[in-house]
């Protein structure tokens, strides 16, 4: 007769029993099957290794004393399954053995002969601990998203952008690869908020964020720079490739009819981009500033176009006509978007 137990763990629980004695393994496996858990028994770690990719146990019951051989086996499981809970099942009930087993890194120490219901209760305890740990990891991941991600568009925010851009510039310098910063700004976006409302303006920004993300590769870094400004970092791309990307993005937004309820509008964007120069040591903010200069030129010359920054072009002359500390404000003024 199978004993009734309370607070059963999820049936998806995977438990591996390791022991050289087949009879002892079966004694451990029998009560585990009462819970309908996914259980397997092996004599050695080598037998289990083949399944680790597709079947990774959450709990490992190590039928061994905490002697030298047991300690080696425990370390092997710790290295292969760092997130699994490992429990010693031992017939050595001495205080020294228990302390030794726990000090070696075991998560629990159960003495044989054991009471089956106590074994199940201890396993459920470890499963609850694992569940709390997984929830904590998930919460930390969500917290990191809140720190790194712009909540309106789902793109990276400016803080996260600069961290990643510095890394990409250094990586590009090390491996001789170009990095491109693309800055874009919605043309006459102020009219969206004035002619409709800020909720519709937020909807438009969210939709633009989706278009930007849909046009980028996994290795690219799309970000909302602030307000109606967006920025994309392209890695391993040529000047021609960057220009093609910018034109594709510009046309995608130009063709889009932004509709939400009774509100509908068509918009265009101006884009400026800057490439790292061969052999140049450049900071992330300087590369962004160059892209910002190119964007200013796109606004100044009529909007809804793409301009690139070149060290010897007219774009660089803008540096003497504008104060670098207020690029966005003057760009808006020059384009009439304020």
Query: What residues act catalytically?
Result: 228
Cα–Cα separations (whole angstroms), residue 260 to 146, 154, 199: 26, 19, 10
Distance between CA 165 and CA 161 in Å, rounded? Answer: 6
Distance between CA 161 and CA 155 in Å, rounded? Answer: 9
Strand order in the sheet with 179-186: 221-226, 229-235, 179-186, 269-275, 306-308
Query: What 3-state DSSP class applies to 192?
Result: helix
82 half-sphere exposure, CB direction, 13 A CA radius: 1
β-strand partners of 118: none
Reference 219, options 180, 183, 184; nearest CA is 180
* 87-117: b (≥16 Cβ within 10 Å) or e: bbbbebeeeebbebbeebebbbbbeeebebe
């Amino acid at each position: 007769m199978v004993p009734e137990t309370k607070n059963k763990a999820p049936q998806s629980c995977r438990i591996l029993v390791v022991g050289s004695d087949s009879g002892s393994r079966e004694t451990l496996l029998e009560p585990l099957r009462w819970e309908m858990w996914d259980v397997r028994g092996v004599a050695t770690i080598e037998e289990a290794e083949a399944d680790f990719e597709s079947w990774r146990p959450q709990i490992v019951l190590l039928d061994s004393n905490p002697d030298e051989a047991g300690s080696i086996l425990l370390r092997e499981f710790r290295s292969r399954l760092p997130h699994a809970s490992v429990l010693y099942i031992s017939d050595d009930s001495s205080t020294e053995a228990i302390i030794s087993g726990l000090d070696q890194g075991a998560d629990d120490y159960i003495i044989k002969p054991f009471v089956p219901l106590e074994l199940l209760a201890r396993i459920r305890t470890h499963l609850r601990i694992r569940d709390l740990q997984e929830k904590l990891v998930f919460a930390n991941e969500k917290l990191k998203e809140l720190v790194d991600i712009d909540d309106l568009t789902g793109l990276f925010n400016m803080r996260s952008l600069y961290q990643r851009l510095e890394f990409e510039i250094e990586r590009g310098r090390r491996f001789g690869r170009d990095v491109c910063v693309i800055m874009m700004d919605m043309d006459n976006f102020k009219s969206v908020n004035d002619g409709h409302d800020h909720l519709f303006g937020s909807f438009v920004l969210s939709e633009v964020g989706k278009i930007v993300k849909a046009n980028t590769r996994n290795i690219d870094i799309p970000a909302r720079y602030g307000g109606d400004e967006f920025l994309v970092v392209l890695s391993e791309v040529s000047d021609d490739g960057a220009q093609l990307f910018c034109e594709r993005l510009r046309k995608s937004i130009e063709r889009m009819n932004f509709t939400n309820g009774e509100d509908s509008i068509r918009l265009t964007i101006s884009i400026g981009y800057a490439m790292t120069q061969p052999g140049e040591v450049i900071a992330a903010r300087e590369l962004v500033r160059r892209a910002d200069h190119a964007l200013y030129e796109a606004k100044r010359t009529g909007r809804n176009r793409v301009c690139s920054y070149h060290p010897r072009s007219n774009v660089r002359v803008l540096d003497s006509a504008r104060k670098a500390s207020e690029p966005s404000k003057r760009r808006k003024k020059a384009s009439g978007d304020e």
